[in-house]
Amino acid sequence: MKALRLSFMAAAATLTVAGAARAEDTPQPAAAPAGPTTLSSPAMSASLAANADPRNADLGFLGKIYFSGQFTALGLAQDNPAAGDHKQQLDLSNAQIEVQKTDGVVQFYVQAGAYSLPSLGTPYIKAKDMPDLTFKWVPVAYLKLAPSANFNIMIGKLPTLIGAEYTFTFQNLNIARGLLWNQEPAISRGVQANFTQGPLAVSISLNDGFYSNRYSTVSGLVTYTATPKDTLAFAASGNVDRTSRASFATPVAQNNGTVWNLIWTHTDGPWVINPYLQYTTTPKESAFGLPSSASTFGGAVLAKYAFSPMFNLAGRVEYISASGSQVSLLYGPKSKAWSLTLTPTWQFKTVFIRGEASYTRLDSATAGFGLGAAGNRDSQTRGMIETGFLF
């Protein structure tokens, strides 16, 4: 799903061919540890903190049920918009609510509402349209069976185990997700087992990859807490079969391929530093319009510095390149891109406001596959502002 650019430019196939886009209550290799909240889902970065006292109700035999949510809006201004995109716009970024039970053998989590998924180098799609194009109006929902404190099984619509950035704006250090995020699955349907033992946490999942409704993808995440300040994680996902399924949320190349991550998170006082590497592969499958294999390799560093409990500055720098002479995974075959993002954030209790400035630069982009209305621009500068409350 995260290959939104490919989906937007290549219609149903969500892929362009030359010449013709983590279960959250398990330990995650996220941009930062969760904020000070009694709830571990939805997972939060260190930029925004969820409501530390969410509403709840004791429903007798059902136990205590928690209610949380987000209502946020954003403004965007950019140069070189894609065809159909706009230079300026205002929109909701989240109007969501979560209902969950967090104790006992049988638990559950349901997240519902509207959302947009801004990411760098891709057209902006409004919150009224994004659910129907991607994960519908209940993007995350699962049943969790927890027979012990260190083992549980989750079944349903699950956040991906892959990558260092979460899906929704309010969860992340930055408002928009980055170029590496564009190559990763975001939400998958399937089953996931989670196990923790001391500093080690392991998750494994059988799922439908890029929301393909074909249950042939195996994902895994191993997280090791080396010190109180340092966490190392390895994540991988790959399709063990082949499927021609293609939609806006399901780029056929990435859905049939593999993705690998190595992620380090360091937390020290006001600092959070989160570098990671990513490698992806896609197969040759002529019957699906993939005349050659291809791959991407990228790296990113996400960081945050807290000047005070109310104000922090987050940043992200990243680079990604693609191989393959006939399949476009970025901005044409063998294209490259890098980006720089800065996001200052102010939060008082559950109310916040943050701004963002980002710059995306392309290298070796194929004419027609780049930025701008004609696909012939090689850079994009974008300014964003997001405000709202987390209840």
The tens digit of pLDDT for each residue in 64-90 reads 999 999 999 999 999 999 999 999 999
The topology under which CATH files domain 4-390 is: Porin (2.40.160)
The answer, yes or no, to whether residue 340 has pLDDT greater than 60, is yes
SS3 label, residue 287: helix
Q: What Rg, from alpha-carbon coordinates, does the chain have?
A: 20
Listed residue (26, 204, 25, 154) closest to 98, CA to CA: 25
Residues 205 and 190 sit within 8 Å (Cβ to Cβ)? yes
**What pTM was estimated for this model as a whole?**
0.90
The chain-wide mean pLDDT, for the chain, equals 91
Residue 93 class from Cβ within 10 Å (0-12 exposed, 13-18 middle, 19+ buried)? buried
The tokens for 364 are 């070796």
| 24 — pLDDT class (breaks 50, 70, 90) | low
Q: What is the mean pLDDT of residues 185-202?
A: 98
The whole-number pLDDT of residue 229 equals: 97
* Res. 60 pLDDT band, cuts 50 70 90: confident
